[in-house]
Amino acid sequence: MVFSSISFLYYFLPCVLILYFIVPQKFKNFILLISSLFFYFYGEPIYILIMLFNILATHIYGILIDKSKNKKRKKIFLILGIITNLSLLIFFKYIDFAIENINGILNTEIKLLKLALPIGISFYTFQTISYLIDLYKGNVKVQKSLLKLALYISLFPQLIAGPIVRYVDIEKQLEERKATFAIFSLGVKRFVLGLSKKVLLANNLAQLSQIFLQTDEKSIIFYWIYAISTALYIYLDFSAYSDMAIGLGKIFGFDFLENFNYPYISKSITEFWRRWHISLGTWFRDYVYIPLGGNKVKKIKLYRNILIVWLLTGLWHGASWNFVIWGIYFGIILIIEKKFLLTKLEKIPSFISRIYVLVLVMISFIIFNADNIGQALQQIGGLIGITENTIITDTTIYYLKSYILIILISIIVSTPIIKNAIIKAKENKCIEKIVNILEPLVIGLLLIICTGYLVDNSFNPFLYFRF
């Protein structure tokens, strides 16, 4: 079950909301837990056992860490807890990738297991690990209630697509949450805006990308259209699910941290990664980069640390060499920026530095979205006329005319232009009243339009099956 589906919007969510708000306060966590487990079971009836095992193992190791008076024993239980959680992720996500490479190197014929990847395992595994590490460090108190820990790990708004919510950020909210109409309405608004980004923009851009991949009539311009639409699609799809998760969190009284902050207005790749998938970036920073020594080491070790983090970041996104190269690609760029390029980027005009970022990011997402390295190189070559010498075709013109409005709207939505315009307009009290009246009408209209698209069985891909 995904957020952008009729079954979620008009069956599951209304039932959960009714139950949640009619039961006494002491039963609200229980209702959310049962709802979250059903939500996961609906999509993963067998693999829910893996998540339940992770929850139970994390609960037991957490108690053992807390009860151990000896720091060495605490560390042993922490390591065992991390190994237990990571081993499941590694087995299901990377075993076939490892077998393929062993077969290729040693010329063996070991059969692939062809296991389906449990949805959301990359997200909830990182949550359980962060809980155990923070508990070991004394940053959080042990959660003795299995129900509350299970709710933290399985909470359906962020279960399958993030953001990666840390226990330290919602520890108090598991005990007590504010539920006001103002917060509820903010949550509904954020959810519907995210749903609109997903259904009306991201899905259409994904469809354009698919059309490009399937057509034989390519051109240099069409390669650029593909690169732009793919970069926009990946951002809008990711950020839309984060918007919906944050909105749903608010509806139930949780305050999840922001996960995207208009990354396409960045003036450097360093800034880009402070704005893109923030929860993942800060997770790797706090639990990998800093323990390795961070930037408080010699330069050679600093560069090593960056490459390790970005190799792991690439692998986190998928078990394929294109993801590994995608991660190393960004690691090398970040090292170059840190070594000498950042100071130069600060001195040149903003529009040039932004173009620099957008071009590098577009190339990165060609690598990210490709089925293999050969396809990625062929598509990158197409941008500069190496693999395609036709500048434009009638097919390119047709699809450009068909999708240009979606592309332009997507570009605008990917910047803070609309947000800043509304904030500026609200400085005038008269306009503020008009905006406050129109806002719920616009939200309602967007929900109706999205519903129409979903009822019509429009193209609705789920990017997170890869994670």
Which of left, alpha, beta for 120 (phi over 0: left; psi -120 to 50: alpha)?
A: left
Token readout for 127 is: 């949550």
- Report d(CA 86, CA 84) in Å as an integer: 6
- Report d(CA 177, CA 314) in Å as an integer: 36
Q: What share of the chain is helix, strand, coil (3-state, %, to 5)?
A: 75, 0, 25
Label residue 447 exposed, middle or buried (CB < 10 Å: 0-12, 13-18, 19+).
middle
* Pick from 273, 268, 270: nearest CA to 283: 273
- Report d(CA 359, CA 351) in Å as an integer: 12
- Report d(CA 322, CA 366) in Å as an integer: 10
* Pick from 258, 255, 290, 291: nearest CA to 277: 258
Question: Can you give the length of the chain in residues?
Answer: 467
* Runs of H (alpha helix) within 197-253: 203-214, 220-251
H or E element at residue 110: none
Token readout for 89 is: 């992720």
Q: Which of 148, 317, 380, 403 is catalytic?
A: 317
Query: Strand, coil or helix: what is 81?
Result: helix
- Report d(CA 316, CA 314) in Å as an integer: 5
The question of whether 317 is a catalytic residue gets the answer yes
Token readout for 57 is: 């193992």
Query: Strand, coil or helix: what is 368?
Result: helix
List the end-to-end C-alpha distance of the chain, in Å, as a whole number: 16
- Report d(CA 189, CA 185) in Å as an integer: 6
Q: Looking at the annotation, which residues are catalytic? A: 317
